[in-house]
């Protein structure tokens, strides 16, 4: 009987062919060195540039790699179906553009196991930013400042996807927010439920290949809705 992996690494994708073509070297290699036992789940959100074919090819060539596609096309739907399929005791979310180093996945795992936390955030505010455009850096800083004032000031990294959760805890949360503000919503719900949350310093680098899918106007609206919401029931 096949044993479940310790960690499920989930990567939502949308038109990432430029990055996906190199994942065997840029992603699988570093993850294999960083994590003792893992599965890798790609969840496509409606790509039209050949990303899905590249992901299916990768899944067909490497054990423990799964590519999900179809159904409702959104960031929220991509994460929901991947979390439902995850078999690991821990779940790590990562950016498809590898703006966070896959090698740091091992540091997230070590921290959640040693600290007994329910969630560990990789924080570039405790670490560093490298090559991020000024406009993106300003938006990221402003959004995280507002979220810190609303929720827990001791935490610095709300909007970044690079986090590890205990799978049994994460699977109890409802995913409600559309767009990338979902990353902050899940953390807000974890805090509201009294989970233990900690952070480690990491580096966030500028996007490599393809174009950003972030719409500043939409995300600002989503963050404001999250900040002014009064009920965070799971």
Per-residue pLDDT of the chain (234 residues; tens, 9 = 90+): 468 999 999 999 999 999 999 999 999 999 999 999 999 999 998 898 999 999 999 999 999 999 998 766 788 999 999 999 999 999 999 999 999 999 999 999 999 999 999 999 999 999 999 998 888 888 889 889 999 999 999 999 999 999 999 999 999 999 998 888 899 999 999 999 999 999 999 999 986 655 555 566 777 787 888 888 767 666
Closest CA to 118 of 43, 199, 28, 53: 199
Q: What is the Cα 49 distance to its own chain's centre?
A: 22
pLDDT score of 38: 97
Domains of the chain in sequence order: 7-228 (3.90.550.10)
Tokens of 112: 């959640």
Distance (Å, rounded) from C-alpha 78 to C-alpha 105? 20
pLDDT score of 32: 96
Alpha helices, DSSP H, located in 93-166:
105-115, 134-150
Report yes or no: 17 and 47 within 8 Å, Cβ to Cβ. yes
pLDDT score of 21: 93
Bridge pairing between strands 163-166 and 119-130 = antiparallel
pLDDT score of 212: 55
């Amino acid at each position: 009987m096949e044993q479940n992996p310790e960690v499920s690494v989930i990567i939502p994708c949308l038109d990432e062919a430029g990055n996906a073509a190199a994942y065997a070297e840029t992603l699988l290699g570093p993850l294999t060195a960083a994590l003792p036992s893992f599965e890798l789940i790609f969840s496509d959100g409606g790509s039209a540039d050949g990303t899905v074919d590249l992901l299916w090819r990768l899944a067909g060539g490497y054990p423990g790699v799964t590519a999900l596609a179809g159904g409702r096309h959104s960031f929220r739907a991509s994460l929901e179906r991947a979390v439902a399929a995850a078999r690991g005791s821990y779940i790590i979310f990562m950016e498809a553009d590898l703006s966070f180093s896959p090698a740091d996945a091992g540091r997230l795992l070590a921290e959640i196991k040693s600290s007994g936390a329910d969630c560990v955030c990789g924080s570039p505010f405790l670490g560093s930013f490298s090559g991020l455009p000024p406009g993106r850096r300003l938006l990221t800083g402003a959004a995280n400042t507002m979220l810190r004032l609303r929720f827990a000031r001791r935490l610095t990294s709300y909007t970044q996807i690079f986090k590890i959760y205990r799978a049994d805890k994460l699977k109890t949360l409802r995913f409600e927010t559309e767009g990338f503000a979902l990353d902050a919503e899940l953390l807000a719900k974890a805090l509201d439920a009294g989970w233990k949350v900690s952070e480690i310093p990491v580096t966030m680098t500028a996007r490599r290949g393809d174009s950003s899918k972030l719409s500043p106007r939409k995300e600002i609206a989503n963050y404001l809705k999250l900040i002014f919401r009064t009920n965070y029931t799971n």
